[in-house]
Chain A
């Protein structure tokens, strides 16, 4: 009896609340976006004087005055931007690719196979999650400084591999794979075992196709981590030929006098591609981040 009486009033009350929600969400959205809009707009303004005049006004967020791609041309003329970009992409993708193979293989063995020392190894891997890279950066620098490479050099400094190989194996990625593999029903593999399939075939033809979500999660999390790597390349790379975007940006930022239009053009060219990839694969990104929270 009471219900029909309550519902209409509730609906009436909800309308201003919904409006409040949208207002609040819009204000926060402006807060999230204003530095990015500012960056994009400033990159298009060729006149440095105009940028400085408008930097304190609302016009800083509007494409006013003379717009051109001059700043972008300047970046290419002043620094090897394309080289930095290729380096960053190459480094991040190689880490992700090799990482997917190496980490899922060990996780498969831990989840499915029986071997001596299995439990101990699992405990060690879980313990290793706690060690942050930052805590080993300095001794690692000492190690890579004295490692030999195939080309006869007796140091790994100033190379691609010094930025890639130390990050391929990752304890947290192994843990994510391990948890996912545990939840895959064993029957399919048992059938394959009876048919005499090798372990590698089971891994490659049964487990990998069933585990696409966790592969995507690990790939995205590793990419987000290593795409922005700054501390390590700062320590091990001097040569601009192997320099990633982050260190390239820092060097460019340090050149005086600062040309803000050029700096924002540089920033835009780094941000836009990732932003587009994110917008295309949004659902995957959000799911990956959400599932990184299930540990512990």
Chain B
């Protein structure tokens, strides 16, 4: 009703071609709605994105030295990065993280989702608990886990020693080049699995119940129902979860920066850590931009992969 009292009624009577005037006005209003977000996106996303390509072809430094002007170096950085042992190691680490964390975390999340999708008492209590790590800050979690991973008497060491009757450990988790990265993986799964559990849970609840009834009539057991009803029905959800976990794996930064700073001996260095170290700490913005471009291309290919895999089913 309040709308009726609008004092700014369109001047229908005065304008000679009311529709045309209205359309022009609509155009202006639309652009006013669009402008703030578009402007911000241009300055803080599109401009730096374009700038990355340009800078990657120069030897730009963070703080320009007036005596040494910035030069155009062509594709020098793109060739040099493959000789940069730390960068190659970083990419390998990112792929290793994907290779292990994506299947483990995804199947664990699906398992949890099925577990908490049962219609039994207190199920909401468990759902809540499994989601709690998601709302904790990664910077905080990383510090707490550093204490849990304490090389001498950390609780994780004593737990492993207890269940193996003293046969295993103690390990120097974050100081051992072989164990540091797996340790970070375990913590990342702990923190991230609840998020994907919720996405899977939403997917499970979309599956029509008749499908299970039909399968049961056909004599399908629990495993067959999972294999031939649940999994195919969750196809798009799974693609989404796998791709978003993969992209997250490539963005890996907070944990390694806080827990190991990429060490020992580059055992836990990641692409993002190396980009920050080159561009920010060593101030080689040109080189870091080239790394950023390669980083973006990898993420782009993964995202396009998602589109291709998802499409045929729709």
Contact = CB atoms under 8 A, between A and B. Distances in A.
A138 B296 contact: no
B227 to A, nearest CB: 19
Interface in B252-298: 253-254, 257-258, 272, 275-276, 279-280, 285, 288-289, 292-293, 295-296
B36 to A, nearest CB: 5
Given A25-B126, A270-B140, A38 B60 contact: no
Given A165-B44, A270-B137, A32 B130 contact: yes
Given A21-B120, A142-B60, A246-B139, A260 B147 contact: yes
Contact of A132 (B47, B143, B251): B251
Nearest to A169: B40
B254 A231 contact: yes
Given A135-B299, A192-B3, A141 B140 contact: no
Given A134-B272, A138-B275, A105 B254 contact: no
Interface stretch (A64-72, A75-83, A199-207): A199-207
A58 B33 CA distance: 59
Contact of B33 (A31, A108, A235, A271): A108
B144 A39 contact: yes
B295 A143 contact: no
B139 A137 contact: no
B47 A143 contact: yes
Tell me what chain B mostly uses at the interface: helix, strand, loop, or mixed.
helix
Contacts of B136: 36, 271, 274-275
B52 A136 contact: yes
Contacts of B296: 131-132, 135
Contact of A130 (B27, B202, B275, B299): B299
A186 interface: no
Given A135-B295, A166-B44, A290-B198, A35 B141 contact: yes
Given A55-B155, A228-B137, A279 B44 contact: no
Which of B49, B140, B190 is packed against the most chain A CB atoms within 10 Å?
B140
Given A263-B143, A289-B199, A105 B138 contact: no
A121 interface: yes
A197 B1 CA distance: 11
Contacts of A270: 137, 140
A249 B199 CA distance: 30
Tell me what chain A mostly uses at the interface: helix, strand, loop, or mixed.
helix
B44 A169 contact: yes
Given A134-B253, A135-B52, A168-B40, A142 B33 contact: no
A234 B49 CA distance: 20
Interface residues of A, number: 101
Contact of B137 (A21, A245, A285, A295): A245
B195 A113 contact: no
A143 B50 CA distance: 12
A87 to B, nearest CB: 14
A139 B58 CA distance: 12
Interface stretch (B73-81, B173-181, B302-310): B302-310
Contacts of A115: 26-27, 30-31, 34
Interface of B: 2-4, 6, 8-10, 23, 26-27, 29-31, 33-34, 36-38, 40-41, 43-49, 51-52, 55, 60, 62, 112, 115-116, 118, 120, 126-141, 143-148, 150, 153-155, 157-158, 190, 194-195, 198-199, 201-203, 236-237, 239-241, 243, 247, 250-251, 253-254, 257-258, 272, 275-276, 279-280, 285, 288-289, 292-293, 295-296, 299-300, 303, 306-307, 310
